[in-house]
Every structure is written in structure tokens, then in C-alpha cells.
């Protein structure tokens, strides 16, 4: 009797997103399994395509003369468990995409690499005064700079033969290492086992609740910075491992620092693998494989680690759960929290969301009893919450100070430097330089329809509402106070650094932002330089705001708290509150109390005031009222359709067609906004337009979307137009 594999092809096109039956050749009958990768002939030319067996059957509706055979099985074991296939099917519906793309998202990019690749790294043998040819020197330099590289890369980059590399290996200056035996991101040997501290009452209470077998709901661990959340995660994982289960720990990419890794590795050793975008495809594949074959039981990583191929998952922990990076902006546009919830449901695993500033969404779930709310209000180790002071930059301007540093901040920096303490200057770059405000009175140009700030378009010199598309000219005088100091906001980290150098010429200053951290290892370098007190001031973006525990930092300056407040996104207030709280958490990590200076043009703004007091609960009450009133998530839904293409006329035609289809359906309780030009109206010569649907019921919006999309697809076939749907995410559109 024949056996057939029901195969999903790894081709993202929706037209072929269905199962194709292939017969399993006789010699593979005993190895073929659900979840395996295959290579199959496809189309008239029988091109070999990768595919995934999502089911097996003993019969098929395909004619026996037409049935094709599976050509290859690249792996010995399945790459997907039944649970993962199940989750992928759910994702396809939830995120309105193809099964092919959902399955692909679960696999590491490096899966097709041969895993026995060798790399070259610098050995411990020093080469001071030894004789080397210029070519050998350049190889050594190259490997030194790049940490570890494939021989082929060295040869290509330097345009040399293999012989200088071979000579250096023979002489012992370079070492060949196997990717399979060496995991480059973690050097397990340098971490010593660390005995856990005795948990305090708040921590014990949280753990007890989480380990309750009868509690199936997700947990929201709401604990101030430094309250010991990570210790709670470690304890839960310890218990999970005892039961022979595995755990996933999701952290935001930028807080996945060596320090974070160290805490987990010191406790659990080689059971830990890391999944990080700075790792090579091969390294990531290796981490994935260890999780898949049971060598590892804990995977730490950003968003995509939620797909760790564990077979008996005991817990998924999402640290800093409020971070927007847990939502994918690329297809499939999944939310790691939702996927985690789905996976945990399947296994009866614990889902733990941790934050000092929970997202409004999660807190709403907790208030309504859908999540279990656990609070930790005290700092666990040493240190107290810092003193915060708000400085009004309008007053500074009135007093003739045009610097980005208020006099108060200058004085505090001087103080800190004199006392040999360190300073962190934090510039919130979210929504950077895109809103227009008055330096004299703090007035921000805001859309009357949507109560979000206008975005400044420098090309056409106009202000536009990100939501409804309303446009107005840039005013010459402030509509509120008549001053001429109304302009768009523009301060960068570079400018802050330059000015800091001018004001404090003797201070050693480091800067950490996108520009200074492009190179692999540069983040670690800056952090360790600052951590070992070889610098006095660290200037940076949100990258420096979280996680890092620098004992000697006594002062944190938040340069322009307003920027994210006026990002033109409904999450502006939430982001600001989170960033101020996190940045403040960097001060006062040791015994004496730290200080935080918050510079703002809107000192009376309730969000700034509440953030300075670290009063999350009042902030939540206030912000959820605003969201409710405006119909913003989680009290309403925003579906954004983005149409892009090279020919603007055709983009407009298509989006208008789609908009007409939607409007014709006359569904009550749904507001249609636009079509209008997207905030970034053109990227790489592709014009961008969008249409927004707002409504309180998500399912109504989904049903409407599905039927409108199918009508649209049948009524017009324009080439070169891409349409994308973003659900409740806004910032990048
Ligand atoms: P969070 O993750 O909430 O920011 P951490 O778990 O990182 O907090 O804890 C903050 C600091 O307090 C760390 O240095 C940690 O080692 C220490 N710490 C945590 N729990 C305890 C405890 N029960 N006793 C002593 N120190 C603790
Ligand atoms: Zn004004
Ligand atoms: Zn508007």
C-alpha cells in the first residue's frame, strides 16, 4: 500500500498555499514522518522545491499516473512537532497569511548550512616580535577584528590563497574550530555556578502562585525595576527542569547582553542556548538544533525564540512584556505573546509576562481577571528608587540658556564627576524630530480629530496627522502664545555628546546608539568600558535604558522626555512612561540614593509627572480612560492597510478601489479613515498609501477584511502593487 505525504511548499504565494500530495518512495517508507522537511519536484519543469510534510495519508485524490515522488529528505528527523504544525495553522488564520510563511518563520535561517563548518579564530598564543609575512599579518588582523570567520571569507575578503591561513594555523597563531563543538556566543567555561539568593517574601509569593498546578491563566508579574523578577524566572525554570520540561525566555534584543546571559548560564550551564540576531546563521542553527534534540532545555532570545523547537514545554517567560519588539512587523506579522499563549495552552505550560511598566493591554487583562496579577513593590537587592526632578526647558530658554543641558543638569553632572561617580544621559529617540512644538510655552501641534501630534514632513514643509491624513501648513507663530519659537524638535545623540564634551572637557565620554554599535561586539565593548569605570559619561538612546546594572551610576539625565510623548502614535504616552521609568531605574543601584533629572517642555503633562513619581497605577487608570474615549487599543482596534508600488497613480487607484469595497459594505460601528499618504510617503521609490479601519469589535473587522480582500482580488489585477495589513501597530507605517 502506498503512503502519501501531504506537503506544504516553501513558496510564499497565496495561490499555492495548499497541500500537495506526493508519494513516498519505497526506500523512505520507514523514515517518513509528519513534520519532516522534503525536496519535491514541482511544476511542469519539476524544479526541486523545499516542502514540509504536515500530514500522511494512505490515499490521495491525485491520479495515479500524475502522482510524483518525494525526491529527498534532507534531515533524519522531523523539524516540526505536531504542536508546531498546529500552531502554524492557527497563525495562518490569526495573521491572515500563508501556512508556508508561518512554518518557515519557525525554522532557523541557517538550516540549509552544513553544520560541520569550520571557523578560524585567534588562539591564545601571542605573536609579539615573531616574523610574519605581510599576508599573514593581514590575515591575523582580519581574524582579530572579526572574531571568528570562515576560511573562505578570509580568502575572499583579502583576495589571497589558503596558504597564509594554513601556515598561521600550523604555527599556532590561529585555531580551527568546529561550529558543532563550539558555541561562540556563550563561553560556558568562564561562568561559575552562582548560588541563588534566598528569595524574599514578595518573590516567594509570586513563585508559589506560578507553580500552582491548578492555575492555568497567564501571569503578569508587575515588579518595579530591581524587584527581583529575574530571580523569580530563574526559580521557576529550576522547578520546570526538575519535571523534565523546557523553558523559553524572551527578552528584547537590546537587553540580551552578556550580563543577562551570564545570570542564566551561571545557574543552568550548558542547558542554556542563546538565539540572537548578531549570531551567524550557523550559530543560530546550532542553538536551534540543541533545543530540538534535547541537548538544551532553555532558550533565551528575542521574539523569534518563541518558536524554540522544544517538545515538552514547561514555561514561556516574556520579560519586559510591554516592548513593541515582540510584535513582528514583517510577514507573518505575529505577536510573540499570542503565539506563546497558544503554545502554552497546548502543553499546559506556564506563561509569565514580566514588566515594571506593563502594557495597557496586559494590565487590562489582569484587571479583568484573565491574567493573574502578581506585584513586587520593593527593590530586592541593595539600592533604593532614585530621587527624580523635573526641569522645565521653557524656563531655561526664558533665562537665556539655549543649550540642550539645563543648568540643573549641568550642576548635577559636575557634582557627580567631582565625586567620581558615573552619569548616563539618555535621549529618547522614538519619533525623533518629527513633531512641532513651541519652545516658549510647550504647545504641541495636535490633530483635533485624533488627539495625536502632527508629524512634520520636511519635503513639503507641512504637518500631517498620522491617523486621519489631515494636513496643515507649518505655522510661523505659536497658536497658543504667539511666540516665534515654534519649530520641529531635533536633538540627536551626536549633538548631546558634542555639547557634553564642550561643557565637561575632562570627562571621558562614550556614546551608544545605532551608529556606534553597527559592528559585532561593539555593544559589549562600550558596556564593559563603562561598567569597568573607564568612562564617566555614557550618552545613548533607549539601548542604554534597560537592564544594565552599573553600580557607580549616581545620575541619569533624560534629555528630552517629550519626544516619545509626541510620536504621533496612540502609544506615545505609554512609551514615554515606560522609557522614563526604565531610564530612572538605572540610577541608584548601590547603597546611596541616585538622582534622575527629567528635562521637558511640558512639565505640567500628567504622564511626565506620573512617570517621575513612578506611579504606574495612576498612569494606567488615566491612560486606559483616554484609550477608551478614543477607541484605541485595547478598547478598540485599528486595522491599517498599506498599499505600496512604484507607480503612485496606480497605488492610489488600487487603494481607492479597496476603500470603495469596504465602504459599500456599510458596516456600523466601523470608521473608515483615508485613504491617505502614509507617514513615510515613499521608501526606495515605492509610494505608500494607507487606509485605516477603526472599530470596537475585532471579529467584525476581521470578517470585513477577509471579504473585502477577496472581492478586491477578483475585481482588479494590477501588477506591482503590494497590500499589507497591520493590526493595532502603527509606529512604522
Ligand atoms: P529585576 O529583574 O526585577 O530588575 P533582578 O532579578 O535583576 O530584578 O534583581 C535586582 C538585583 O537584586 C540583582 O542584583 C539581584 O541579584 C538582586 N536580588 C534579587 N533577588 C534577591 C534576593 N532575594 N536577595 C538578595 N538579592 C537579590
Ligand atoms: Zn507657544
Ligand atoms: Zn487626525
pLDDT at 431: 42
pLDDT at 81: 96
Query: Which atom number of ligand 1 is nearest to the Cα of residue 382?
Result: 12
User: What's the pLDDT score for residue 116?
Assistant: 43
Which residue's C-alpha cell is 499589507? 724
Quote the ligand 1 centre to 564 CA distance (angstroms): 29
Residue with CA at minimum distance from ligand 1 atom 11: 381
Surrounding residues of ion ligand 3, Cβ less than 5 A: 447, 449-450, 465, 467-468, 470
Cell of 120: 578560524
Residue pair 28/81 in contact (Cβ under 8 Å)? The answer is: no
CA of 274 to the centre of ligand 1 (A): 22
The answer to whether the CB of 260 is under 6 A from ligand 1 is: no
In which element (H, E) is residue 414 found? helix 407-418
* Average pLDDT of the residues in 55-59: 95
733 neighbors 640 (Cβ within 8 angstroms):
yes
- Report the C-alpha gap between 481 and 701 in whole angstroms: 42
Residue pLDDT, tens place only, 480-492: 999 988 877 655 7
pLDDT for the residue 126: 65
Q: Which CATH architecture has domain 387-430+496-627?
A: 3-Layer(aba) Sandwich (3.40)
Ligand 1 pocket test, pick from 206, 222, 224, 226 with the greatest ligand atom count within 8 Å of Cβ, gives: 226
Residue 533 CB contacts under 8 Å (≥ 6 apart), including other chains: 422, 552
Whether the CB of 230 sits within 6 Å of ligand 1: yes
For residues 304 and 334, give the distance between their C-alpha atoms in angstroms, rounded to a whole number: 10
What is 664-713 written as a DSSP string?
HT--TTEEEEEEEEEEEEEETTEEEEEEEEEES-HHHHHHHHHHHHHHHH
231 lines ligand 1 (CB under 6 A): yes
What does the pLDDT read at residue 223? 95
Atom of ligand 1 nearest to the CA of 224: 3
The per-residue pLDDT for 402 is 83
- Cis ω on the peptide bond leading into residue 591 (within 30° of 0)? no
Closest CA to 203 of 317, 374, 373, 372: 374
Quick check: CB of 380 below 6 Å from ligand 1?
A: yes
197 lines ligand 1 (CB under 6 A): yes
Q: Rounded to an integer, what distance in angstroms lies between the CA atom of residue 649 and that of residue 539?
A: 45
pLDDT tens digit sequence for 319-337: 999 998 899 888 898 999 9
Ligand 1 atom at shortest distance from the alpha carbon of 203 = 23
Contact 342, 102 (CB under 8 A): no
Ligand 1 pocket residue status of 585, Cβ below 6 Å: no
Range 539-568 average pLDDT: 79
Ligand 1 pocket test: which of 222, 380, 581, 583 has the largest number of ligand atoms within 8 Å of its C-beta? 380
Residue nearest to atom 13 of ligand 1 (CA): 381
| pLDDT (mean) for 281-296 | 89
What one-character DSSP code corresponds to residue 280?
-
Mean pLDDT score, 201-210: 97
**Protein residue whose Cα sits closest to atom 24 of ligand 1:** 197
Residue nearest to atom 26 of ligand 1 (CA): 381
State which CATH number among 3.30.70.580, 3.20.20.120, 3.40.1030.10, 3.40.50.300 fits the domain covering 188-376.
3.40.50.300
Q: Write the pLDDT tens digit of every residue in 396-451.
A: 988 988 888 999 999 999 999 999 999 999 887 644 456 788 888 888 888 877 76
Q: 691 CA distance to ligand 3 centroid (A)? A: 13
Ligand 1 lined by 320 (C-beta under 6 Å): no
Q: How confident is the model over 123-130, as a mean pLDDT?
A: 66
Q: Mention every residue, 6+ apart, whose C-beta is less than 8 A from residue 453.
A: 435, 436, 444, 445, 446, 447, 566, 567, 568, 572
Q: Which residue, judged by its Cα, is nearest atom 4 of ligand 1?
A: 226
Span 637-727: which CATH code? 3.30.70.600
**For the purposes of burial, counting CB atoms within 10 Å of the CB of 643, is it exposed (0-12), middle (13-18) or buried (19 or more)?**
buried
H or E element in which residue 206 lies: helix 201-211
Highest mean pLDDT among 9-13, 106-110, 248-252, 683-687: 248-252
Does ligand 1 lie within 6 Å of residue 503's CB atom? no
Tell me how crowded residue 401 is: count the other CB atoms within 10 A of its CB: 14
Grid coordinates in use for 188? 560556558
Looking at residues 338-355, what average pLDDT do you find?
97
With cut-offs at 50, 70 and 90, classify the pLDDT of residue 83.
very high
Write down the residue that cell numbers 514632513 correspond to.
Answer: 457
Query: Strand 637-645 to strand 722-727: parallel, antiparallel, or no bridges (unpaired)?
Result: antiparallel
Angstrom distances, CA of residue 408 to CA of 321, 415, 419, 552, 576: 34, 11, 17, 20, 22
Characterise 607 by phi-psi region: left (phi > 0), alpha (psi -120 to 50), beta (else): alpha
Paired sense of beta strands 350-355 and 272-274, if any: unpaired
- Gap between the Cα atoms of 547 and 356, Å rounded: 11
Spatial CA neighbour of 261 closest among 301, 320, 211: 301
pLDDT-derived band at 181, boundaries 50, 70, 90:
very low
C-alpha of residue 450 to centroid of ligand 3, in Å: 4
Beta-sheet strands, E only, within 322-365: 350-355
Best of 222, 231, 548 to mutate for ligand 1, by most ligand atoms within 8 A of CB?
A: 231
pLDDT of 545 strictly over 80: no
SS3 662: helix
| 477 Cα–ligand 2 center, Å | 8
In this prediction, residues 583-589 reach a mean pLDDT of 76
Per the CB < 8 A criterion, the answer to whether 700 and 667 are in contact is yes
| Helices and strands, counts by H and E, the chain | 21, 29
- CB of 226 shorter than 6 A to ligand 1: yes
**Percentage of residues in the chain having pLDDT higher than 70:** 91
- 405 φψ region: left (φ > 0), alpha (ψ -120 to 50), beta (else): beta
- Of the chain, the percentage scoring pLDDT greater than 90 comes to 50
Q: How far is the CA of 440 from the centre of ligand 2 (A)?
A: 5
66 DSSP 8-state letter: T
Ligand that lies nearest to the alpha carbon of residue 454, given by its number in the listed order? 3
Higher pLDDT, 731 or 692: 692
- How far apart are the CA of 607 and the centre of ligand 1, in A? 28
Q: How far apart are the first and last CA of the chain?
A: 54
Q: What is the DSSP letter of 446?
A: B
Cα–chain center distance at 584: 21
Peptide bond preceding 332: is omega within 30 degrees of 0, i.e. cis?
yes
More confident residue, 306 or 279: 306
CA of 675 to the centre of ligand 2 (A): 32
Span from the CA of 347 to the centroid of ligand 2 (angstroms): 57
- Please say whether the beta carbons of 236 and 211 come within 8 A: yes
Question: pLDDT value at position 115?
Answer: 45
DSSP letter, residue 358: -
Number of the ligand closest to the Cα of 200? 1
**Ligand nearest to the Cα of 375, by number:** 1
Question: What's the 544 CA to ligand 1 centre distance in angstroms?
Answer: 19
∠ Cα 629 631 635 (to 5°): 100
SS3 labels along 239-270: HHHHCCCEEEEECCHHHCCHHHHHHHHHHHHH
- 174 closest CA partner among 193, 191, 154, 200: 154
Spacing, Cα 251 to ligand 1 middle (Å): 17
Nearest alpha carbon, ligand 1 atom 18 = 381
- Among 130, 34, 547, 1, residue whose Cα is nearest residue 302: 547
Q: Which ligand is nearest to the CA of 355?
A: 1
Ligand 1 centroid from CA 223, angstroms? 11
d(CA 473, CA 462): 5
Of all ligands present, the nearest one to the C-alpha of 465 is 3
CA–CA dist 118, 284 (Å, integer): 15
C-alpha 527 – ligand 3 centre gap (Å):
41
- pLDDT at residue 131 tops 90: no
Determine the average pLDDT of the residues in 597-616. 91
266 lines ligand 1 (CB under 6 A): no
Radius of gyration of the chain (CA): 28
Asked if residue 194 has pLDDT above 50, the reply is yes
> For 700, phi and psi rounded to 5 degrees?
-60, -45
Asked, as a colleague might, if the bond just before 188 is cis with ω within 30 of 0, I would say no
pLDDT reported for residue 398: 87
Model confidence band, residue 179 (pLDDT cutoffs 50, 70, 90):
low
**What crossing angle do the helices spanning 134-146 and 151-158 adopt, rounded to 10°?**
120
Residue 723 grid coordinates: 497590500
Q: How far is the CA of 475 from the centre of ligand 2 (A)?
A: 11
Q: How many CB atoms lie within 10 A of CB 249?
A: 26
Q: What is the C-alpha separation between 470 and 461, in angstroms, rounded? A: 14
Give the CA count within 13 Å in the CB-facing half-sphere of 256: 23
> Which tens digits make up the pLDDT trace of 609-664?
999 988 999 999 999 999 999 889 999 999 999 999 989 899 999 999 999 999 99
Q: State the Cα–Cα distance between residues 428 and 387, nearest whole angstrom.
A: 20
Please give the Cα distance from 325 to 451 (Å, whole number). Answer: 25
Ligand nearest to the CA of 477: 2
Ligand of minimum distance to the alpha carbon of 674: 3
Q: What is the DSSP letter of 162?
A: S
- For residue 478, give the ligand nearest its CA: 2
Q: Indicate if ligand 1 lies below 6 Å from the C-beta of 225.
A: yes
Residues 6 or more apart in contact with residue 427 via CB below 8 angstroms: 491, 492, 493, 496, 539, 540, 541, 559, 560, 563
Fold for the domain defined by 4-106: GIY-YIG endonuclease (3.40.1440)
Secondary structure of residue 347 in the 3-state scheme: helix
Beta-carbon count within 10 A of 253 CB: 15
201 alpha carbon to ligand 1 midpoint, in Å?
13
pLDDT of residue 489: 64
pTM for the whole structure: 0.82
**Strands 20-23 and 4-9, how do they pair?**
antiparallel
Q: Which ligand is nearest to the CA of 455?
A: 3
- Residue 225 CA: which ligand 1 atom is closest? 4
Reduced to 3 states (helix: H, G, I; strand: E, B; else coil), residue 368 is coil
Amino acid at each position: 500500500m502506498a503512503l502519501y505525504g501531504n506537503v506544504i511548499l516553501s513558496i510564499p504565494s497565496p495561490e499555492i498555499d495548499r497541500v500537495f500530495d506526493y508519494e513516498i518512495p519505497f526506500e523512505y517508507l520507514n523514515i517518513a514522518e509528519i513534520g519532516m522537511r522534503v525536496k519535491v519536484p514541482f511544476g511542469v519543469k519539476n524544479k526541486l522545491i523545499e516542502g514540509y510534510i504536515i500530514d500522511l495519508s494512505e490515499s490521495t485524490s491525485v491520479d495515479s499516473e500524475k502522482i510524483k515522488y518525494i525526491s529527498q529528505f534532507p534531515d533524519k528527523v522531523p523539524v516540526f512537532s505536531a504542536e508546531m504544525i498546529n500552531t502554524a495553522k492557527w497563525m495562518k488564520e490569526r495573521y491572515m497569511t500563508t501556512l508556508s510563511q508561518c512554518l518557515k518563520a519557525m525554522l532557523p535561517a541557517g538550516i540549509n548550512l552544513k553544520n560541520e563548518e569550520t571557523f578560524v579564530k585567534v588562539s591564545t598564543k601571542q605573536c609579539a616580535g615573531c616574523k610574519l609575512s605581510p599576508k599573514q599579518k593581514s590575515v591575523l588582523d582580519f581574524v582579530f577584528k572579526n572574531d571568528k570567520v570562515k576560511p573562505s571569507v578570509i580568502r575572499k575578503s583579502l583576495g589571497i590563497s589558503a596558504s597564509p591561513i594554513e601556515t598561521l594555523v600550523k604555527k599556532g597563531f590561529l585555531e580551527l574550530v568546529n561550529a558543532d563543538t563550539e558555541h561562540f556566543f556563550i563561553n560556558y567555561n568562564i561562568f561559575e555556578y552562582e548560588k541563588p539568593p534566598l528569595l524574599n517574601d514578595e518573590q516567594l509569593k509570586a513563585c508559589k502562585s506560578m507553580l500552582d498546578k491548578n492555575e492555568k491563566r497567564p501571569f503578569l508579574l508587575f515588579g518595579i525595576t530591581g524587584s527581583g523578577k529575574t530571580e523569580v524566572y530563574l526559580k521557576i525554570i529550576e522547578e520546570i527542569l526538575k519535571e523534565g520540561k523546557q523553558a523559553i525566555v524572551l527578552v528584547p534584543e537590546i537587553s540580551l547582553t552578556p550580563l543577562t546571559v551570564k545570570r542564566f548560564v551561571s545557574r543552568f550551564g550548558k542547558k542554556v542556548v542563546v538565539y540572537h540576531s548578531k549570531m551567524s546563521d550557523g550559530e543560530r542553527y546550532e542553538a536551534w538544533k540543541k533545543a530540538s534534540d534535547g541537548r538544551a532545555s532553555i532558550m533565551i532570545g528575542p521574539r523569534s525564540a518563541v518558536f524554540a523547537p522544544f517538545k515538552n514545554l514547561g514555561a514561556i517567560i516574556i520579560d519586559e512584556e510591554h516592548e513593541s519588539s515582540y510584535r513582528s512587523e514583517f510577514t507573518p506579522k505575529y505577536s510573540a505573546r499570542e503565539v506563546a499563549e497558544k503554545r502554552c495552552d497546548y502543553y499546559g505550560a506556564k506563561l509569565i509576562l514580566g514588566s515594571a511598566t506593563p502594557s495597557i493591554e496586559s494590565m487590562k487583562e489582569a484587571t479583568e481577571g484573565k491574567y493573574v496579577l502578581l506585584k513586587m513593590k520593593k527593590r530586592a537587592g541593595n539600592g533604593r528608587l532614585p530621587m527624580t526632578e523635573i526641569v522645565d526647558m521653557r524656563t531655561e530658554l526664558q533665562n537665556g540658556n539655549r543649550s540642550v543641558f539645563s543648568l540643573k543638569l549641568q550642576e548635577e553632572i559636575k557634582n557627580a564627576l567631582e565625586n567620581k561617580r558615573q552619569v548616563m544621559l539618555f535621549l529618547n529617540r522614538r519619533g525623533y524630530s518629527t513633531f512641532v512644538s513651541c519652545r516658549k510655552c510647550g504647545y504641541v501641534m495636535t490633530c483635533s480629530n485624533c488627539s495625536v501630534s502632527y508629524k512634520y514632513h520636511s519635503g513639503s514643509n507641512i504637518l500631517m496627522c498620522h491617523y486621519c491624513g489631515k494636513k496643515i501648513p507649518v505655522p510661523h507663530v505659536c497658536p497658543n502664545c504667539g511666540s516665534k519659537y515654534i519649530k520641529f524638535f531635533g536633538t540627536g545623540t551626536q549633538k548631546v555628546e558634542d555639547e557634553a564634551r564642550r561643557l565637561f572637557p575632562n570627562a571621558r565620554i562614550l556614546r551608544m546608539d545605532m551608529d556606534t554599535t553597527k559592528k559585532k561586539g561593539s555593544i559589549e565593548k562600550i558596556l564593559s568600558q563603562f561598567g569597568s569605570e573607564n568612562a564617566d559619561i555614557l550618552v545613548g538612546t533607549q539601548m542604554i535604558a534597560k537592564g544594565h546594572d552599573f553600580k557607580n551610576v549616581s545620575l541619569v539625565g533624560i534629555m528630552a522626555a517629550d519626544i516619545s510623548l509626541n510620536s504621533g502614535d496612540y502609544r506615545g504616552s505609554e512609551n514615554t512612561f515606560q522609557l522614563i521609568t526604565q531610564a530612572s531605574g538605572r540610577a541608584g543601584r548601590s547603597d546611596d540614593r541616585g538622582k534622575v533629572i527629567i528635562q521637558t517642555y511640558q512639565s505640567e503633562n500628567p504622564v511626565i509627572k506620573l512617570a517621575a513619581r513612578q506611579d504606574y497605577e495612576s498612569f494606567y487608570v488615566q491612560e486606559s480612560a483616554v484609550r477608551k474615549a478614543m477607541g484605541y487599543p485595547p478598547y478598540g482596534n485599528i486595522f491599517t492597510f498599506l498599499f505600496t508600488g512604484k507607480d503612485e497613480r496606480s497605488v492610489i487607484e488600487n487603494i481607492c478601489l479597496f476603500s470603495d469595497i469596504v465602504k459599500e459594505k456599510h458596516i456600523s460601528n466601523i470608521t473608515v479613515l483615508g485613504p491617505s499618504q502614509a507617514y513615510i510617503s515613499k521608501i526606495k521609490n515605492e509610494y505608500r498609501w494607507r487606509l485605516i479601519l477603526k472599530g470596537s469589535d475585532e471579529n467584525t473587522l476581521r470578517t470585513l477584511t477577509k471579504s473585502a480582500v477577496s472581492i478586491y482580488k477578483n475585481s482588479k489585477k494590477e501588477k506591482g502593487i503590494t497590500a499589507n495589513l497591520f493590526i493595532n501597530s502603527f509606529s512604522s507605517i
